[in-house]
Chains A and B, each alone.
Chain A
Amino acid sequence: MIGAIMKAMGLTLLRDKGALVMTFILPPLMFLVFAAVFTGVSGDDAPVKAAIADASGSEGGHALFLAMHNAPLVKATPVRNEADVRDAVRSGAADAGLVIVSDPSAGGNAAPLLVLADPGRAAAAGLLMAHVQSLISERLPQIGLKRLGAQMQSIVGAFTPEQTEQFNLALEASAESVAKGEKPRGGDFFARQTVDSLKALPTVTYYAGAIAVLFLLFSSVQGAASLVEERRSGIFDRLVMMPGGSSVMVLGKFAFITLQGVLQVTLLFVVAGLVYGVAVLPHFDSWLITTIAAAAATSSLALALACAARTRQQAQTLSTFAVLMLSAIGGSMVPRFLMPAWLQSAGWITPNAWVIEAYQASLWRGAALEELAPALFVLICYAVAGLIISIVLARRHVRLG
């Protein structure tokens, strides 16, 4: 009997081109869009649109101005003065602005560089500052050295003639290194290595899981809404007269929506594997179990919402609210590590967070199946609880008194 419900739902889905596209084409497309965004911008190599003005009238300032103009990670727009820089940032023509206020190679307490930030794009100012520092360190080391020399002399007193000679030699050497394309001598504070245990970018793996669970929720809600529709159309009245009653109806829908979810997620990860090298096959067991648990959890959650609603309008409102809230808190829209701590904690009440965590653990960190147990346990609890609630609520619709 469950098979009969699945057959009816399957044929209905196959003959609804819009639903087919929503269920199987849109999720991989959305994933590709998110992945393109996050692979194009992996973090610190983001190009920044910057308005730049040199108000210093100094040789060092001019050198920095020219270097910024040619820097690959800065799309510099030269303007005349600080007011123009402010205008460019305020109007959105530039992500951030840089004003070379005074000679950057000179000593003194006042900062020679002024960065102007748009509060809506604060990260761009940080990136611009990082790019300027990197540029001074790698392309204009003499500016940094001169400023350092001036600062030291203000603390320890003027260099002796011998020290001045050595200092000038160091300045010439650093300029020569840059001219030869060598890295200037000097102690770097940071040595950087990327933890990249697997081939795919972690953001891509993250978004594969995040988009998967988001669309699992959407398609589950759409599938479960057929319950409300069938109550309205009288199919429910007819089915509850049959031997299986409302329980078979709910179980059939649960089985179909779960299967549909597994197929949907499979398609999404096939695309993720082919385009971005997300490695599913080496972790197929844990991926499959996570996928089934995720599909079952979202399916029963959607059915419980549909059973709780009395009208289609009510079901739509309830489902939209639930899907958007769960996805926002659970990390399907914005990565959870960007959220404040309390919101990250709150996220654990959503299936989204557990699904994303399970996919990340298995596909990115290569965790063994046992390590996924907590996430799988929570998802299975979601599935069982949702199913029980759905069956109880559906029975209430059958018995009118």
Chain B
Amino acid sequence: MSARYGARAVLRNTSLSVAAGEITVLLGPNGAGKTTLIRTICGRLRPADGTVRVKGHDAHLGEARRRIGLVPQELALYPSLTVRENLDVFARLAGMPRASIRARVNAVMEAAGVGARANERIDRLSGGWKRRANVAAALVGEPALLVLDEPTVGVDRDALAGFADLLRALAAAGLAVLIVTHDLEQAAAVADRVAILVNGHVALEGPVRALVARRFEGARRVELRWSHPPDADTRAHLTALAILPDATGATYVGRLPAGTGALADLLLTLEQRQVMPREVSVREPDLAALYADVLAEAGR
């Protein structure tokens, strides 16, 4: 699908599927179109062409919206109400029969792990508990798809692990989970699949391990940083090794095969030419390396 605000195209030929029982993480730099994609999935923005479907229903229709539990980036809860009162309000707004609300609220609190704080006001909870309650509120309507927009903003590191466990448990229970985040560490901790959105287009999508293996083919990611762009000979040497400059021209990124001595040879050459970089970074390929590599490629 494609989407636009007026004359400005924001998403172009974007394709993404989120399956039940899986956690898909949507990554992308600012302005890539992540928020627009979320809004389109939630039915608030009609695609310029193509379709968005939720369990077979057009996202623009109420039927689809009822199957989505949205966890906005902000804490979308009534701050002076308790956790239970908030869930009760949202359950009633979700159109649940009165008789089943209490049981549903208890079940959701159990699933989100906020039962111990049921009767505490939201504005008196710590960041981690607030985020859990924020997720719980999205679950009361029994959604098929849970959409989380930057769900861990403001959560301390201790609470992050628990939050990742919560998301995995929800996926294991059969929910399709789509997370939009800038937090690569969190993404790596929970993602079954990853989609990287660049310039309004899904540049890469698939299971994290498979994508990394396919992209790096056993190579290591090498990043060389100078204070100023290196001389012409050095540039030519690096380009010949497929180590290419970013937009600044002072940083070069590429891949070198592991265990072949290619990195040692490169560093020796640079030392002999007396153009040693200010910083050398060599990383085993992971999600962060994959993301950086995709962005670097897009920048070129």
A contacts, CB < 8 Å to B:
1, 3-5, 7-8, 11-12, 15-16, 232-235, 237-245, 248, 398-401
Question: Which of B61-69, B158-166, B241-249, B289-297 makes up part of the contact surface?
Answer: B61-69
B51 CB–A CB distance under 8 Å: no
Question: Which of B42-50, B102-110, B216-224, B279-287 makes up part of the contact surface?
Answer: B42-50
B125 to chain A, nearest CB (A): 15
Complex Cα spacing A237 to B150, Å: 14
Q: Is the CB of B95 within 8 A of A238?
A: no
Residues of B close to A237: CB separation below 8 A: 42, 70, 72, 76
Complex Cα spacing A237 to B69, Å: 11
B132 to chain A, nearest CB (A): 15
B contacts, CB < 8 Å to A:
3-6, 39, 42-46, 62, 65-66, 68-70, 72-78, 80-81, 85, 88-90, 92-95, 121, 137-138, 141
B300 to chain A, nearest CB (A): 32
Closest 4 CB pairs of A and B: A234-B72, A234-B76, A4-B92, A234-B74
Q: Is the CB of A4 within 8 A of B75?
A: no
Residues of A close to B69: CB separation below 8 A: 241
Most buried by A among B68, B80, B89, B90: B89
Residues of A close to B81: CB separation below 8 A: 8, 11-12
Complex Cα spacing A242 to B68, Å: 9
Complex Cα spacing A241 to B93, Å: 10
Complex Cα spacing A1 to B141, Å: 13
Complex Cα spacing A245 to B64, Å: 13
| Extra 17 A-B pairs, beta carbons < 8 Å, given A4-B93, A5-B89, A7-B85 | A1-B93, A1-B95, A3-B92, A232-B74, A237-B42, A238-B137, A238-B138, A241-B42, A241-B68, A241-B69, A242-B66, A242-B141, A243-B62, A243-B94, A244-B95, A400-B44, A401-B46
Residues of A close to B73: CB separation below 8 A: 234
A-B contact pairs, 7 of them (CB 8 A): A1-B92, A4-B89, A11-B81, A12-B81, A241-B70, A242-B66, A400-B45
Complex Cα spacing A238 to B4, Å: 23
Complex Cα spacing A1 to B94, Å: 8
Q: Is the CB of A234 within 8 A of B95?
A: no
Q: Is the CB of A233 within 8 A of B80?
A: no
B134 to chain A, nearest CB (A): 9
With CB as the reference atom, state the residue of chain A lying closest to B5. Answer: A401
B220 to chain A, nearest CB (A): 41
Complex Cα spacing A349 to B75, Å: 41
A398 to chain B, nearest CB (A): 6
Known: A232-B74, A240-B44, A243-B95. A401 touches B80 (CB 8 A): no
Q: Is the CB of B72 within 8 A of A243?
A: no
Most buried by A among B43, B66, B69, B76: B76
A364 to chain B, nearest CB (A): 41
Contacts between the two chains (Cβ within 8 Å), count: 89
Known: A242-B94, A401-B45. A235 touches B78 (CB 8 A): yes
B161 to chain A, nearest CB (A): 25
Known: A5-B93, A242-B95. A12 touches B80 (CB 8 A): yes
Residues of A close to B95: CB separation below 8 A: 1, 242-244
With CB as the reference atom, state the residue of chain A lying closest to B140. Answer: A242
With CB as the reference atom, state the residue of chain A lying closest to B80. Answer: A15
Complex Cα spacing A399 to B43, Å: 8
Complex Cα spacing A235 to B77, Å: 6
Known: A240-B44, A241-B42, A242-B94. A8 touches B78 (CB 8 A): yes
A260 to chain B, nearest CB (A): 16
Q: Is the CB of B76 within 8 A of A235?
A: yes
Complex Cα spacing A234 to B73, Å: 7
Complex Cα spacing A242 to B89, Å: 12
Known: A4-B93, A243-B94. A234 touches B75 (CB 8 A): yes
With CB as the reference atom, state the residue of chain A lying closest to B67. Answer: A241
Complex Cα spacing A3 to B93, Å: 9
Complex Cα spacing A284 to B92, Å: 35
Option from A4, A244, A398 in Cβ contact (under 8 Å) with B44: A398
Complex Cα spacing A235 to B86, Å: 11
Known: A400-B39, A401-B3. A8 touches B89 (CB 8 A): yes
A252 to chain B, nearest CB (A): 9
Complex Cα spacing A69 to B78, Å: 66
Most buried by A among B69, B77, B92, B141: B92
Residues of B close to A242: CB separation below 8 A: 65-66, 90, 93-95, 141
With CB as the reference atom, state the residue of chain A lying closest to B95. Answer: A243
With CB as the reference atom, state the residue of chain A lying closest to B65. Answer: A241
Q: Is the CB of A238 within 8 A of B76?
A: yes
Q: Is the CB of B72 within 8 A of A238?
A: yes
Residues of B close to A241: CB separation below 8 A: 42-43, 65-66, 68-70
Complex Cα spacing A248 to B92, Å: 12
Q: Is the CB of B92 within 8 A of A238?
A: no
A226 to chain B, nearest CB (A): 9
With CB as the reference atom, state the residue of chain B lying closest to A13. Answer: B80
Complex Cα spacing A367 to B121, Å: 49
Complex Cα spacing A357 to B154, Å: 54
Residues of B close to A15: CB separation below 8 A: 80, 121
With CB as the reference atom, state the residue of chain B lying closest to A233. Answer: B74
Complex Cα spacing A5 to B65, Å: 19
Q: Is the CB of B66 within 8 A of A243?
A: yes
Residues of A close to B121: CB separation below 8 A: 15
Residues of A close to B62: CB separation below 8 A: 243, 245
A48 to chain B, nearest CB (A): 52
With CB as the reference atom, state the residue of chain B lying closest to A248. Answer: B93
Residues of B close to A243: CB separation below 8 A: 62, 66, 93-95
Complex Cα spacing A231 to B8, Å: 24
Known: A242-B141, A401-B46. A11 touches B78 (CB 8 A): yes
B294 to chain A, nearest CB (A): 28
Residues of B close to A3: CB separation below 8 A: 92
Complex Cα spacing A3 to B226, Å: 63
Residues of B close to A11: CB separation below 8 A: 78, 80-81, 85
